[in-house]
Structure formats: C-alpha cells, structure tokens
Chains A and B, each alone.
Chain A
Amino acid sequence: MTVEIQSEPVTPDEAEQRKQESIERRLEIDRAARWPVGIFIGSSLVWLLFGSLLAIAASIKMHDPEFLADNPWLTFGRVRPAHLNTVAYGWLSTAGIGIGLWILSRLCQVPIREQQSLTLAAVLWNLGNAVGTWGILRGDSTAVEWLEYPTYAAPFLLISFTFVMLAAFRMIRNRPPGHIYISQWYIMAGFVWLPALYFTAHGLLVLAPVQAPAQPPINWWYAHNVLGLWFTPIGLEAIYYLIPKIIGKPIHSYYLSIIGFWSLAFFYAWNGMHHLIGGPYPAWLITVSVVASIMMFIPVITVAINHHMTMVGNFRALRYSPTLRFVVFGAMSYTLVSFQGSITAIREVNYVTHFTHYTIAHSHLGAYAFASMVYFGAIYYIMPRLLEREWPSRWLIRFHFWPSAIGISIYFFILSWGGIVQGMAMNLSDTPFMEIVAATIPYLKWRTIGGTLMTIGHLSIFISFFWMVFDRRYRGAEPTLFSTKTPETPAPLPYP
C-alpha cells in the first residue's frame, strides 16, 4: 500500500486534481472488473443458498432420521457431502476468487483485461460445481472428505482456475514498480496453493489411488490445508485490505504482517495429521502436525495483534459500517478458531473431542464465523463500487448480520458443548452407545435452529444482491450505512 509521504506542500488545486485522477483510475478498474467479478460473486450467493438448504436437510436428518429418507439422492450420507462441497467450492471458493481478483486489481492498479476468459472461467467453475454436486447426489461421491466431487467434475475446476491464475499473474506483472502490499501476497499465495493441493490430493486419492493405508494422511493434509492455504489467505487478505480502507488508518505494523505471512505459509502446510490422532499411524507422523498446530500460535497472534491494534480507537465505526461489522466479526472469529484449533490438536484434548460434533462446530467457526463473515463484508464493500449503485436497503443488511451472527453463535457454542458431552461419555466404556446417541439429540436440534437462522441471513443477502442488480434506479450517492448519523467521515487515504 503506497502511502505517499508528501514532503512538499501541495496546493489545493493540485490536491484536487490528484484526488480526481485517483477516483477516475479506480472507476476504470471497477468497470473492468464488473462482469467477471460480478458473475463470480453473484453465482457464489446462489451456491450459498443451495448449500444452506442441503445443510438444513442434513441437520434435520440427524435428529429425525425419517426425514426425506426414502429417496437415495437425499440420504444423509449424500446430502452431507453435497452440503460441504457446495459451500466450500460453490460458495467460499467462488466468492473468494471474485473478491481476490477485485482486490488484486485494485492493489495492482491494473484493470482486468481478461473479461472473456474470466467469464468463461466463472461459467466453467459453476459448471464443475453443478456437475460435482449432481455426481455426489446420484451416488458417485468419492467419500474422501473435502474431495467428494467425482473425477468428472475436476477438469472443469482445474481449467477454470488456470484462467484465474493467468489473469492474476498478469496483474502482478503489470503493476507499477514498488511496494507489494500484504493482501497481494496472500491472494497470490492462495491462487498458487489451491491448485497444487487439489491436483496432488485428487490425483493420489481419486484418480490413481495410492495403497489404502497411505490415503488418510494425504486426505487430511488436503482437507486441513484447503482451509489454511486457501480460505484463510483469501479471508486474511480481505481483512488486511478492508479494515484500513474503512477506518482510514494504515495497518498497525507492516513487519508483523510479513512474519504472520511466512509463519502461516510454513506451519499451516504441515498441519492435518492431528485429525488422525489415535489412528493406525506412526507416532512421528501425527506428532509433526500436533507441533505445527501449536506453532500456528505465531501467525495467529501476529495477525491478531495487527488486525485488532488497527481497530483500536475505531470501534465506533462498527455502529455504522456494515462491511466493518462483518469483517471485524470475522477477524475476531479467526483468532478464536485458531486458538481453539491449536488447543484441540493436543493429544489429551483430542482424546475427548475427536469423533464428536465438537469438530463439526469448530469447522463451522472457521468456515462460517471467520471466512464467510469476512466474505460477506467484502461483498458489501465491493458490489456498490462494481455496479456504481448502492445497496437497496440497510434493513436487509441488518437482517443479514444479526441472524447470521446469532445463528453461528448458537451453532458453535451449543454444538461444541454437545460434542464434549458426547466425547466424555464415549470415553466411559460402561455407557451404552445408544445412551450417548440419545444425549446428543437436544444439541442436534439446536443446531437446526442455528442453521435456520443463518439461512435467513443468507436469504437477506441473496435478495439484497439481486434487487441491487436488477433495480437500476438511482439510490443516492451516500453509502448504505446502518446508522444515518455518521459520527465523522474518515479521511480517504491516497492509496488505491
């Protein structure tokens, strides 16, 4: 981020001219991004809603096994992976590509020129998700967790992602010389790591499977790192970009952000084997990941200091900025979920939580309370700039934030508690298994309530988005804020 330190006094006229030029450049960048980024973000919201419906169906099935039980396409063991894949690849990844491309284009100050190839990429990406989800529901799931899409969906995804990478590399290459902001690091890293992960895991587990005992380690290396080396970089990149933009203050410490980046790159990649604690594997293999998990405290604490110290003194802005409210919720959840993850990787803790709903709650804290909430915030920020049109209703945004925030809190706290109860009971050999099942049912019902609330929030952003796209009436030049009384307008920073 190039914060120009102006040593010479600038006349008001020059300042005005610079401001005008900067606005025009941004307008050019946003207009170039309109179609490709808009399609990625718009289609991701369709997947979000579809994935939420699958989630509710799966959740109800866990306490009411007769629900939709007679259609093989809708049996629990297919609906659940269909939910996971539609939200991971349909929602989070599609939105992540759109957000990543837009922020990259802004930070590189290079307008997107690949309108056609990126639009094709968006179509292929959605096609890959549609084919994959259809494959899971019809019974072609691979049952490799996080990689359930059958092989015939993979080419769509990989070809599409190649176009995305080409566009991203051109932007990086054509950027003006000088500083590379930390968000650019994270985006480019995510864009490189995801295909490398997917290619390795899909090849060794689905396409040409290695001998069975070697599969679970590769599976969990992939499953953990698709979170750590794809959703996390895209989420952190958006936080690093949006918080300073909204509160008009540069990031707390540039050096900390570098430490945070490299320690994440190094330690996160070694995670994953702690999902196999107690499993049929040599102790060293699992211990490596336990250690790497604990080492994750370094990037997490650095990033937390950086984000939260930037926010200090500006918490009042949460009252009026929708983007900031979502993003700060996400940033706080990131700290929480990472601490929780490191602690859960310790063997003695894992003996209780492994195999229980606690893990499911943890993964939703990461994928929803952190990643999804940040992405929501980013979408609320990006879309008005992309369309040059404001959000139609602040009530709908409010009606998105609260159901989502309350829903995920119910989901996380109650299901985690249920998981601990379940794990403790399972460790007592004289508790009959059916008693444990019965004990978890109330928690599972609460999960359906939490999930339904989250879905109500998704419906709000879905309506908001398509209302905004199709209703072309002018809605004023003022941003859509929660509160009309803006305390003080933050001074715009000169960086792009």
Chain B
Amino acid sequence: MNNRFRYIFVGFLLTFLSAWCGLVLLPVWGLGNFQQVPDPTTGEMIPPIMSPLEERGRDIYIANGCVYCHSQQVHPKRARNDVERGWGQRRTIAHDYMNQGKAQIGTMRTGPDLANIGVRNPSADWQLLHLYDPQITSRGSIMPPFRFLFERREVGAEGPSPKALQIPKQFSPPEGYDVVPTEEALALVAYLQSLKLSQYEVPNAEAARIDTEIE
C-alpha cells in the first residue's frame, strides 16, 4: 500500500468517526441512561416497569412486525395533529420509552399510532376480536388477520370455553366450534394495554434536559 492510499484510508476513517461520535456516541450518552421519576400527582414511579407478560407480548409484537404499519410516537402540534386525533395527551419524549427494552417507535402509519392505545382503547375483548379478524371491529381495514394466534376448538360436552371469543355470527366458525385466544394473543393484548406512553405528566427535569417543547 503506497502512502497516497494510506492518507485516503485515514480520511475514510475520520469522516466516518466524526459522524459516529455525533450520531451514535452522543445519543447513547444523552439518551441512554434515563431514570424513573415520581409522578408529580400520584407519587408513583414513572414510567412503570413492564411485567414479564407484557414483555412477552412485546416480543410477539416484534416477531410479527407490527412496527411496519404502526408507529408509537405522539407528535407535537407544530408537526401534526396527533393529540386532536386522540392518539395521546401530549407529545411523547425520550424519557417515556426508557422501560420499553426494545424501542418500537416506527416510521409508518398505514395503521393508527399505538403509543397510547392502552389509554385510548383498554378493552381486551375489542383487541382480541380485532386481532382475530380486523373486519369484525374495523370494517375496511387492511390489517391482516392474526388467526394463527387463536385456536379453533371443537366444543366438548362441557360446553364452550369461558375464554372463547364472542364473535358476531357472520365471522364465527361453524356450529360446534369456538375460538380461544392462545397465550401469545393474551400476552400481545396485555402489551397493547400497557402502552400508555403519552399519559403521564411530563417530569419537568426530563423535559428541560432534552430541550424539546412540550405540547
């Protein structure tokens, strides 16, 4: 390798390293060590820590790529009217995500934002029906059905399972069968119910720290 290429090679590394420091190292330092803070009104530590069931639900959310159609970020008024749409009480800030483990903030809204779905639509029955077949609850939706997260069981002598979904007639399985959510479906719904990213009042210290306007 003659000298000339050596200089060029150092150039490759320096240009790369400059951005590496700015866009990898600084975010890790500045946004990678948040602590829980007490809620100003209730005194609870926020944001709450996920339960093992919710974590399992998040992993199912990840495995099935929900993020490719659903974002989890409420935007400020200046950018978009997420708050008016009812997608959250306020814009989300970095602190809100500290206990998510694997961030699923997303970049696509083929479907609605889910940052605050646990507040907006807490009904487990609705979520289960919607996952089983989105047409039941949201006619015209292009979300795929997740029937593979449910079991179709033959109704035995003991009658239908207490956990079986109450499916409207036109969508229900043939007579003598019922539809029971698997453990995975229940975990996924528990995760969805836990998504309350834009619910808490913004801790002032955190807002000041990240230098963003809250609206």
Residues of chain B within 8 A of A65, CB atoms compared: 134, 141-145
* B2 in contact with A177 (CB, 8 Å): yes
Contact B109 A434 (CB under 8 A): no
Check: A301 CB closer than 8 A to any chain B CB.
no
Does A284 reach chain B (CB closer than 8 Å)?
yes
B27 lies within 8 A of A285 (CB): yes
Partner of B212, one of A80, A283, A433: A283
Closest approach, in angstroms, between the C-beta of B155 and any C-beta of chain A?
Answer: 21
Q: Enumerate A40-94 residues with CB–CB distance to B below 8 Å.
A: 61-63, 65-66, 69-72, 75-78, 80-81
Task: Output the least CB separation between B50 and chain A (Å).
Answer: 11
Q: In the complex the two chains form, what is the Cα distance from A213 to B191 in whole Å?
A: 18
With beta carbons under 8 angstroms apart, the residue of B32, B33, B66, B75 that contacts A278 is B75
> Chain A's nearest CB lies how many Å from the CB of B147?
6
Q: Which residue of chain B lies nearest to A433 when distances are taken between CB atoms in the complex?
A: B112
**List of B residues within 8 angstroms of A212 by Cβ:** 97-103
- Secondary structure type dominating chain B contacts: loop
| A213 and chain B: residue at smallest CB distance | B94
Contact for B65 among A78, A209, A429, A438, CB less than 8 A: A78
Residue B13 is within 8 A (CB to CB) of chain A in the complex: yes
The chain A residue with its CB closest to the CB of B2 is A177
Interface size on B, residues (CB 8 A): 79
Decide if B109 touches A426 in the complex (CB within 8 Å). Answer: yes
A200 contacts B68, CB within 8 Å?
A: no
Docked-complex contact B107 and A61, CB < 8 angstroms: no
A62 to B68, CA, bound (A): 12
Smallest CB–CB gap between B143 and chain A, Å? 6
Looking at the complex, which one of B5, B24, B71, B110 makes contact with A180 (CB distance below 8 Å)? B5
Residues in chain B within 8 A of chain A (CB atoms): 1-2, 4-5, 8-9, 11-13, 15-16, 18-20, 22-24, 26-28, 30-34, 61-69, 71, 73, 75-76, 79-81, 84-85, 91-105, 107-112, 134, 138-148, 210-212
Instruction: Please give the residue numbers on chain A whose beta carbons come within 8 Å of chain B beta carbons, in ascending order.
Output: 61-63, 65-66, 69-72, 75-78, 80-81, 139-145, 169, 172-173, 177, 180, 185, 188-189, 192-193, 196, 200, 204, 209-219, 221, 225, 229, 262, 265-266, 269-270, 272-273, 275-285, 288-289, 347, 351, 354-357, 359-360, 426-429, 433-434, 437-438, 440-441, 444
